[in-house]
Amino acid sequence: MSDSDAAAPLLEIDHLTVHFPGGRSGFWGQERLVVHAVDNVSLAVMPGETLGLVGESGSGKSTIGRAILRQLPTTQGRIRFRGEDITKVTGEPLRNLRRHMQMVFQDPYASLNPRQRVIDIISEPLIVHGLARHRKDTAAKVADLLQRVGMPADAASRYPHAFSGGQRQRIGIARALALSPEFIVADEPVSALDVSIRAQVVNLLMDLQRDCGLTYLFIAHDLATVRHISRRIAILYAGKLMELADRDAIYERPRHPYTEALLSAIPIPDPVAQRNRRRLVNDGEPPDPLHPLPGCRYQSRCPYATAQCRSVEPPLEQKAPGQWAACWNR
Ligand SMILES: Nc1ncnc2c1ncn2[C@@H]1O[C@H](COP(=O)(O)OP(=O)(O)OP(=O)(O)O)[C@@H](O)[C@H]1O
Ligand code: SF4
Ligand SMILES: [Mg+2]
């Protein structure tokens, strides 16, 4: 690989917009409503890095992940993987693409079929892609995957109900790894797990990244979860990118009021410091994806909003080296 290849993003999304039909309104149902799930978001993920994607419920995180994996049509914009435009790819090229990009889901209880044994769950992608030709090879491959995610080999013959939430998520990760992908969208992979085991699963993902050269888009709704694993973090609010920066800049010098609010929600272990800290509570009107406000989408909750914020949308601009934010007053 040349130096220029090494510097090229593995994944780029360029002005991505995803809208959904939102039903009709008006007495006669004459107005077609549109859900503005994601609007004009541009991001790049470099090979081997973890980009954390953080935002509250409904901000469009899963929609971005699903659009990247081509599980949803894009309304506007481009998605490139390894430099190739995959925005409209279908058929056999899409099937091939799916070998390189996989997803780990939030809910390890809902995402594993309770009627399938673990060996069938993990080998399913191999069968779908015609890579499980010999039973013995497949069993050996599943045993290897189980070992890589810290599960005993005898787990293969059991059903998901025999396992805890953390173990089920390890099985989900093994399934995502079965096709040896390069890129994984981890959509809130630890949010449904007990707090005491979240760090173990995050550490497993980091070990696998190091050993297998994986690249992650790691989605979470809070800034505490993504801190350890992310190299850079993107902050999403109401379908728009608010801030994008290196991890330390986000935690030490946030440039967007919404990032400040997310940071102020992270509990501090010292009770005195916790009592005395300034909390930026996100009260105010929540965003309405059917009727996005003109100007800044964060205006209804922002303590610094001015008349300009209510009429003109702030561009995402560089505020410091490696740090971009969309705010008129920061
Ligand atoms: N298939 C769909 N049809 C209509 N609206 C949708 C669809 N999928 C998502 N939405 C809407 O798009 C917006 C973004 O949803 P999305 O699931 O991407 O948010 P999210 O950030 O992943 O939230 P959460 O943290 O709750 O998972 C929401 O308003 C949601 O209701
Ligand atoms: S542009 Fe205005 S409303 Fe938006 S975050 Fe900045 S100060 Fe707040
Ligand atoms: Mg989601």
pLDDT of residue 2: 43
Q: Which ligand is nearest to the CA of 299?
A: 2
Statement: residue 87 has pLDDT above 50: yes
Ligand 1 atom closest to Cα of residue 35? 5
Statement: residue 99 has pLDDT above 80: yes
4 or 67, which is more confident:
67
In this structure, are residues 240 and 297 in contact, taking their beta carbons and an 8 Å threshold?
yes
Residue nearest atom 3 in ligand 1 by C-alpha distance: 20
pLDDT of residue 6: 54
H/E element, 65: helix 61-68
pTM given for the model: 0.94
Residue nearest atom 4 in ligand 2 by C-alpha distance: 296
Cα radius of gyration (the chain) = 21
Ligand 2 atom closest to Cα of residue 258? 5
Question: Is the Cβ atom of 316 under 6 angstroms away from ligand 2?
Answer: no
Strands (E), the chain: 11-25, 31-45, 50-54, 76-81, 84-85, 101-104, 183-187, 215-220, 232-237, 240-246, 317-320, 323-325
Question: Is the Cβ atom of 296 under 6 angstroms away from ligand 2?
Answer: yes
What's the gap in Å between 63 CA and the centre of ligand 1? 6
User: Considering all CA atoms of the chain, what is the largest pairwise distance in Å, rounded to the nearest integer?
Assistant: 68
**Domains delineated in the chain:** 3-230 (3.40.50.300)
Statement: residue 20 has pLDDT above 90: yes
Q: Which of 242, 319, 324, 329 to mutate for ligand 2's pocket (most ligand atoms within 8 Å of CB)?
A: 329
Q: Which residues of 175-187 are buried (b: 16+ CB within 10 A; e: fewer)?
A: bbbbbebbbbbbb
Q: How far apart are CA 273 and CA 287, in angstroms?
A: 31
Ligand 3 being an ion, which residues bring their Cβ within 5 A of it? 62
Tracing tokens 């085991």 back to the chain, one arrives at 197
Statement: residue 23 has pLDDT above 90: no
Residue nearest atom 24 in ligand 1 by C-alpha distance: 57
Residue nearest atom 18 in ligand 1 by C-alpha distance: 60
Query: pLDDT (tens digit, 9 = 90+) per residue, 54-81?
Result: 999 999 999 999 999 999 999 999 999 9
Query: pLDDT (tens digit, 9 = 90+) per residue, 108-147?
Result: 889 999 999 999 999 999 999 988 888 888 999 999 999 9
Residue nearest atom 28 in ligand 1 by C-alpha distance: 58
Q: Which residues have C-beta within 8 Å of that of residue 3, sequence separation ≥ 6?
A: none
Question: Is the Cβ atom of 304 under 6 angstroms away from ligand 2?
Answer: yes
Question: Is the Cβ atom of 300 under 6 angstroms away from ligand 2?
Answer: no
The pair of structure tokens assigned to 6 is 């090494």
Question: Is the Cβ atom of 254 under 6 angstroms away from ligand 2?
Answer: no
Q: Which of 61, 64, 105 to mutate for ligand 1's pocket (most ligand atoms within 8 Å of CB)?
A: 61
Q: How far apart are CA 281 and CA 220, in angstroms?
A: 19
Residue nearest atom 4 in ligand 1 by C-alpha distance: 20
Residue nearest atom 30 in ligand 1 by C-alpha distance: 58
Average pLDDT, the chain: 93
Q: Which ligand is nearest to the CA of 66?
A: 1
What's the gap in Å between 279 CA and the centre of ligand 2? 17
